[in-house]
């Protein structure tokens, strides 16, 4: 993996462990020679990932919609900063520029990015690993919800392993490195659906 899209919040939670973890992720990716593609902001977890990766000599590519340049305070210190028209263009560029996706804690925007990456993988728009870093159990409820979707049949058995989950970045990167693409909907016949 040469580059990973990192999805995370632009907020700074009271619990500084989230910021510290985001910084650790940026540093680890840079130390492994993996470039960061992210939302282009300099605040919150976004800024922490970018700053740590840059401090460690890593490549950081920001992708920010025009409407969020001021709201998320665009990070002008990135290796590259792309200003795009809207969120759809942003997510398309994340997918085009990266070899996989890592989701850190975040809010609604982070969830939108995560589920779109999973949906696109399920359909067959990409065959890249989609990682979820479950920092301090932040995503326990989401993982349980995903498991409910699997057990009730709303996620097909062929797609049950699209979301790759781990509690720390080294384990997540190892699992993502071992990821085997699944059978996509685009390659399924009607009787398989």
Phi-psi region at 161: left, alpha or beta (left = phi > 0; alpha = psi -120 to 50): alpha
DSSP run (H or E) holding 97: helix 87-97
Domain boundary assignment for the chain: 3-192
How far apart are alpha carbons 125 and 165 in whole angstroms?
A: 21
pTM equals 0.93
> According to CATH, what is the number of the domain 3-192?
3.40.50.450
Residue with tokens 């993982």: 143
How far apart are alpha carbons 34 and 20 in whole angstroms?
A: 19
**pLDDT tens digits in sequence order for the chain, 193 residues long:** 999 999 999 999 999 999 999 999 999 999 999 999 999 999 999 999 999 999 999 999 999 999 888 776 899 999 999 999 999 999 999 999 999 999 999 999 999 999 999 999 999 999 999 999 999 999 999 999 999 999 999 999 999 999 999 999 999 999 999 999 888 887 767 677 6
């Amino acid at each position: 993996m040469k580059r990973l899209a990192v999805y995370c919040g632009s907020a700074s939670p009271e619990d500084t462990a989230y910021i510290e973890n985001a910084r650790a992720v940026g540093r680890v990716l840079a130390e492994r020679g993996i470039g960061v593609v992210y939302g282009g902001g300099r605040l919150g977890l976004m800024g922490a990932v970018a700053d740590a990766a840059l401090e460690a000599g890593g490549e950081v590519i920001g992708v920010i919609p025009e409407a969020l340049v001021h709201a998320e305070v665009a990070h002008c210190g990135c290796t590259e900063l792309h200003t795009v028209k809207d969120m759809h263009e942003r997510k398309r560029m994340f997918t085009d520029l990266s070899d996989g996706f890592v989701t850190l804690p975040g809010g609604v925007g982070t969830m939108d990015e995560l589920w779109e990456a999973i949906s696109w993988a399920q359909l067959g728009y990409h065959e890249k690993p989609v990682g979820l870093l479950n920092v301090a159990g932040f995503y326990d409820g989401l993982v349980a919800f995903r498991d409910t979707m699997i057990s009730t049949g709303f996620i097909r058995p062929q797609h049950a392993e699209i979301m790759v989950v781990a509690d720390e970045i080294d384990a997540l990167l190892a699992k993502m490195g071992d990821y085997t693409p699944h059978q996509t909907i685009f390659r399924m016949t009607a009787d398989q659906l």
